[in-house]
């Protein structure tokens, strides 16, 4: 009887100690949560009791805290990116608008038919630049929606590349550039969107014409499982090019931003390529900048 009473007493004492330990842990957890709520900190909840249920609860709360911090960091980054986007876009749109305003005044003041025709042509070219910028912004905005999809069909990738390249004939002539072309004659069937493919190749070639120097090399090949388009051009100050940011929106290696590019071209190319299960990459070797696009060949065609 005495042994039973002693055992019961010991069990009661242990239960009371455990109860008080649980209460201390709960109060400690509440203090930690209040601190985390009031301060921007990396503090995590801790438990000093060797009970799996309590430790599991602590781990679950810590995961919720981590997820909350991730959401907060993402929101802050998105806000920063939005402010940067608005700033860059305002700068890029202001340039052609200012030019248009100036030439309209010159057109109004001029009495020479020849000068008026010249000013009118310049205004038209600036309007075209502005229209293209807004179209790129519209496309870029659509690509930010994860639910946005492209209607795809069976296409000859080689034909799309050749048609797009031919549309740049006048621009190559005006710049005195004769691109080095190495195109495979083999059929390169893929599943894609024709308009999107044209836009991808256009943006890559435009980037080479706008930012490159010297020769431009274009290659189109099939690897057996992929169709590959490669565009290479010479560049000055290649050390300034950050290939990790090449496909980021509004990225320009030239911080002065003196040209009329929106800085969205390669970002759009990446978005469209990935929407069609392709890959796009950039590399700089010495003074040669290369962009490569790959699409899986459709072996059923």
Q: How far is CA 233 from CA 171, 197, 252, 270, in A?
A: 15, 20, 16, 19
Residue 272's pLDDT is 93
Residue 66's pLDDT is 84
Say how far apart CA 137 and CA 220 lie, in whole Å: 29
Quick check: 260 pLDDT over 70?
A: no
Q: Could you tell me which residue, 149 or 260, shows the higher pLDDT? A: 149
Residue whose structure tokens are 């921007």 = 40
CA triplet 277, 281, 83: central angle to 5 degrees? Answer: 90
Residue 276's pLDDT is 93
Residue whose structure tokens are 């010159």 = 106
Q: Could you tell me which residue, 226 or 17, shows the higher pLDDT? A: 226
25 confidence band (pLDDT: 50, 70, 90) = confident
The winner for highest mean pLDDT among 11-15, 53-57, 196-200, 295-299 is: 196-200
Q: Which residue, 200, 187, 197, 203, is CA-closest to 151? A: 197
Residue 24's pLDDT is 77
Say how far apart CA 181 and CA 188 lie, in whole Å: 17
Residue 256's pLDDT is 46
**Neighbouring-strand partners of residue 222:** 227
Q: pLDDT per residue over 141-196, tens digit each?
A: 888 787 888 898 999 999 999 999 998 888 888 888 889 999 988 889 999 999 99
* Residue 216 dihedral angles phi and psi, to the nearest 5°: -125, 130
CA triplet 62, 64, 67: central angle to 5 degrees? Answer: 110
User: Domain 153-296 maps to which CATH number in 3.90.1580.10, 3.30.565.10, 3.30.420.40, 3.40.50.2300?
Assistant: 3.30.565.10
In the 3-class helix/strand/coil scheme, how is 158-203 assigned residue by residue? HHHHHHHHHCCHHHHHHCCCCCEEEECCCCCEEEECHHHHHHHHHH
Give the domain ranges of the chain.
2-72, 84-143, 153-296
Residue 198's pLDDT is 93
Q: How far is CA 181 from CA 162, 201, 211, 258, 293, in A?
A: 10, 14, 19, 30, 16
Say which CATH topology domain 84-143 has.
Helix Hairpins (1.10.287)
């Amino acid at each position: 009887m005495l042994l039973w009473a002693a055992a019961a007493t010991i069990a009661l004492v242990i239960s009371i100690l455990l109860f008080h330990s649980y209460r201390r842990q709960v109060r400690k957890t509440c203090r930690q949560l209040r601190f985390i709520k009031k301060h921007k900190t990396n503090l995590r909840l801790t438990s000093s009791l060797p009970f799996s249920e309590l430790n599991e609860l602590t781990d679950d709360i810590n995961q919720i805290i981590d997820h909350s911090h991730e959401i907060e960091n993402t929101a802050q980054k998105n806000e920063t990116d939005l402010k940067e986007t608005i700033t860059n876009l305002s700068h890029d749109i202001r340039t052609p608008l200012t030019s248009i305003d100036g030439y309209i005044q010159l057109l109004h003041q001029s009495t020479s038919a020849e000068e008026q025709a010249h000013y009118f042509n310049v205004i038209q070219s600036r309007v075209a630049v502005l229209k293209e910028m807004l179209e790129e912004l519209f496309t870029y905005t659509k690509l930010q929606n994860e639910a946005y999809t492209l209607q795809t069909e069976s296409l000859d990738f080689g034909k799309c590349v050749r048609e797009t390249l031919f549309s740049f004939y006048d621009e190559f002539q005006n710049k005195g550039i004769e691109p080095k072309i190495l195109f495979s004659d083999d059929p390169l069937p893929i599943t894609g969107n024709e308009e999107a493919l044209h836009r991808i190749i256009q943006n890559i070639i435009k980037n080479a014409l706008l930012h490159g120097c010297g020769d431009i090399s274009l290659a189109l090949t099939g690897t057996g499982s992929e169709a590959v388009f490669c565009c290479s051009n010479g560049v000055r100050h290649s050390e300034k090019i950050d290939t990790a940011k090449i496909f980021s929106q509004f990225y320009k290696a030239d911080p002065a931003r003196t040209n009329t590019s929106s800085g969205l071209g390669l970002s759009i190319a990446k978005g469209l390529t990935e929407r069609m299960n392709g890959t796009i990459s950039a590399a700089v070797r010495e003074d040669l900048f290369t962009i490569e696009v790959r699409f899986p060949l459709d072996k059923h065609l």
